[in-house]
Amino acid sequence: MGYRVLVDKEELPMSRLPVIVGFGGFNAAGRSSFHHGYRRTVIESLSAEDRQETLVGLATLMKLVSFTDGQYSDAEGNSYTAEEVASKYEEQILNSTLVRRIEEQHLDVDNVHWHKEATIAPAEGEALTFVTKKKQLPESLPESWQVTELDDGMVKVQLLDGVNVKFDATREMPVKSAGQLPKGFEPGEHYTSRFHPRGLQLTVVAASDAVQSTGIEWQTIVDAVAPDEIGVYASSVMGQNDENGNGGMMKSRLMGKRVTAKQLPLGLNTMPADFINAYVLGSVGQTGALTGACATFLYNLQAGISDIVSGKRRVVLVGSSEAPIQSEIIDGYGNMSALASVDGLTKVLGTPEGEEPDYRKASRPFGENCGFTLAESAQFFMLMDDALALELGADIHGAVPEVFINADGPKKSISAPGPGNYITMAKSLANAAAIIGEESVRERSFIQAHGSSTPANRVTESIIFDKVAEAFDIKDWPISAVKAFVGHPLSSASGDQLASSLGVFKYGIVPGVKTIDKVADDVYDDRLNISVKDVAVGQQGMDVSFLNSKGFGGNNASAAVFAPHIVESMMTKRYGEDAMATYRERREAVRRHAEAYEQAALAGDLKTIYKFGENMIDEADIEISADSISMPGFDNKIDLSAENPYKDMV
């Protein structure tokens, strides 16, 4: 079979396989592209060379050293080799990544600002008097106030009765751990991010990381497809809740401030997709922002791959971004008894009285635990149909054939787990077995568990896995839980799982649940292998990973992810050896281009794509006919021809 460039829709396969051709992002483990974040989670099991590269990459990301003129140097101008950087900063890097005590520059959990309400009144026989600027008086004065004007715009106020006031105060938070970005890494420093909430800063750098990891210029991809064959599906479940978003807007009146013109629009949970379309890709294609609590990433992934399978889209960017480490959000989840508190961890870990618990072990999936650990993360993945990937020589990291989503039915508690996850997991296994065979599912698969680290989850999720394993005759099923390392970033949780799965396919190491000493006694693990150490399975030792997510409200989602060697085998069967040989030649150039970005990123230059107001489309130049639309800046037209899908009805 000779190789042909597949661009004509008539030549495309009927069943298009959505393949992952690029991925990137940032969480508590560092940068996701080129498996850096994954490698941080299994750093004890890496080769010396991979370990050193991981540490040096984190050192530049965290601004411990810079790389210029072929050498590393610190702020004092001292020069180091890569080996010296890894040795000198290893302990500092390890202690300043993954789940840990919330750092003071992020949030001072020992002295969180709040207002203490009080009622004050004049003492008997005395007047309660104060002086202030006239312009600072309330517009509507209380009847019990007597105001006397003074010089220079000042007034004296005498209170004849009591008044309610709020005193500035601080208090200690009961929750002190989170999955924070590596200390020193500030996403907003990598582009012009003025007034952007932290979640949108993460969106920009993470989406840019994913795009550049492909090794293919974005314009090359755009030129290969029609403008409406591109899709972006991204959101944040909580929205942007810091001072520059909803958080600043909602408390502005109580804080005596004015709402800005940017806080409301930038606070919307659709903004990750909107920012990517406008400032990273410049896309006029399909856009979507689905949310499903902790399963949000998989909701967006389902939308993207469904459009690829149907042929509506040929390339999609899918992801989510969340930056919820804020006192108000911690209070919200904490008051639901959902988070691992200091008191809870002290009891679980048996911490001696007067000492702080080991916050590194706060997130404890399937072990003795007391709640989940909030985290910040943004993860993005570029997917194409297999024909486009073949045409462009894209490097394929895996494939996702389908995402299954099911609700729980009747519920007594909206936050409690329910039966919907049985359906999603069983469907995912059945789907994978039908495509790549029962043996791959039975012998060479593993699970990326939701593993939220709550007492209820460790029981209910393990029961599901155990029952599904029995149904598919699986024994000793490897279970991984990435939240043990990076915490729970809500919408981005399954994005973390997917990035970790791609790392397993590359390095052949399934991360163990290393924050626990043993599996809890009430976990159902007769057919499960929940290891507290990393498990070496070898390269190509796993054919498929199953992602599982259980969200508040009954938002259950599961998906199978095929390993790259499985995908290449499938594509060889579809296109033949000659076409694949030509594809591999093209892939070498793509990999070289990707490696150039990797080397820049390792040196601390993320080359963040942020095109504010660039290449604006002049609407006067849009050409519309009955058959097509031509958009300025796009080589290919948007096809308006359509067939009537309801011929039998008209």
Average pLDDT of the chain, as a whole number:
95
565 is catalytic: no
Q: Is residue 3's pLDDT more than 50?
A: no
Per-residue pLDDT of 361-417, as tens digits, reads 999 999 999 999 999 999 999 999 999 999 999 999 999 999 999 999 998 888 888
Query: What is the per-residue pLDDT for 143?
Result: 85
Query: What is the per-residue pLDDT for 416?
Result: 82
Nearest alpha-carbon partner for 545 in 447, 473, 443: 447
Query: What is the per-residue pLDDT for 12?
Result: 60
Angle at 135 between CA 130 and CA 137, to 5 degrees: 50
What backbone phi and psi angles, to 5 degrees, belong to 316?
A: -135, 150
Amino acid at 150: L
Query: What is the per-residue pLDDT for 66?
Result: 96
Q: Which fold has domain 18-28+176-181+193-575?
A: Peroxisomal Thiolase; Chain A, domain 1 (3.40.47)
State how far the Cα of 1 lies from the Cα of 8, in Å rounded to an integer: 18
Mean pLDDT of 561-586: 97
Nearest alpha-carbon partner for 91 in 124, 64, 67: 64
Place of tokens 């406008």: 278
Q: Is 338 left (phi over 0), alpha (psi -120 to 50) or beta?
A: alpha
Nearest alpha-carbon partner for 532 in 548, 521, 516: 516
Which is the catalytic residue, given 35, 190, 397, 488? 488
Per-residue pLDDT of 462-480, as tens digits, reads 999 999 999 999 999 999 9
Structure tokens at 77: 């101008």
Query: Helix, strand, or coil here: 165?
Result: strand
Binning pLDDT at 50, 70 and 90, where does residue 13 land? low
Which is the catalytic residue, given 190, 294, 370, 397? 294
Percentage of the chain beyond pLDDT 70 is 98
Domain ranges of the chain: 18-28+176-181+193-575
CB 562 within 8 A of CB 398: yes
Q: Taking the mean position of all CA atoms in its chain, how far away is CA 328?
A: 20
* 408 C-beta neighbours (distance < 10 Å), count: 19
Whole-number Cα distances in Å, 410 to 404, 457, 534: 19, 19, 39
Mean pLDDT of 300-310: 97
DSSP 176-215: -EEEPPPTT--GGGGTT-TT--HHHHHHHHHHHHHHHHTS
Half-sphere exposure of 197 (CA within 13 A, CB side): 34
Angle at 520 between CA 518 and CA 524, to 5 degrees: 115
Per-residue pLDDT of 254-301, as tens digits, reads 888 899 999 999 999 999 999 999 999 999 999 999 999 999 999 999
- Predicted model pTM: 0.95
Whole-number Cα distances in Å, 383 to 32, 288, 387, 498: 16, 15, 12, 13
Structure tokens at 550: 């259980």
Query: What is the per-residue pLDDT for 2?
Result: 33
Query: Helix, strand, or coil here: 38?
Result: helix
State how far the Cα of 8 lies from the Cα of 307, in Å rounded to an integer: 18
Query: What is the per-residue pLDDT for 125?
Result: 76
State how far the Cα of 158 lies from the Cα of 127, in Å rounded to an integer: 7
Judged on CB neighbours under 10 Å (0-12, 13-18, 19+), 235 is: buried
Angle separating helix axes 577-602 and 198-213, nearest 10 degrees: 140
Query: What is the per-residue pLDDT for 105?
Result: 82
CB 167 within 8 A of CB 118: yes
Angle at 414 between CA 367 and CA 558, to 5 degrees: 60
Per-residue pLDDT of 529-554, as tens digits, reads 999 999 999 999 999 999 999 998 99
Which is the catalytic residue, given 35, 196, 397, 450? 450
CB 129 within 8 A of CB 58: no
Buried b (16+ CB within 10 A) or exposed e, 586-615: bbeebeebbeebbeebbbbebebbbeeeee
450 is catalytic: yes
What backbone phi and psi angles, to 5 degrees, belong to 248?
A: -65, -40
Query: What is the per-residue pLDDT for 18?
Result: 98
Per-residue pLDDT of 329-364, as tens digits, reads 999 999 999 999 999 999 999 999 999 999 999 999
Query: What is the per-residue pLDDT for 4?
Result: 38
Helix, strand, coil percentages in the chain from 3-state DSSP, rounded to 5: 40, 20, 40
370 is catalytic: no
Per-residue pLDDT of 114-135, as tens digits, reads 889 999 888 887 888 999 999 9
CB 457 within 8 A of CB 449: no
Per-residue pLDDT of 582-624, as tens digits, reads 999 999 999 999 999 999 999 999 999 999 989 899 999 999 9
Per-residue pLDDT of 419-431, as tens digits, reads 999 999 999 999 9
Judged on CB neighbours under 10 Å (0-12, 13-18, 19+), 647 is: exposed
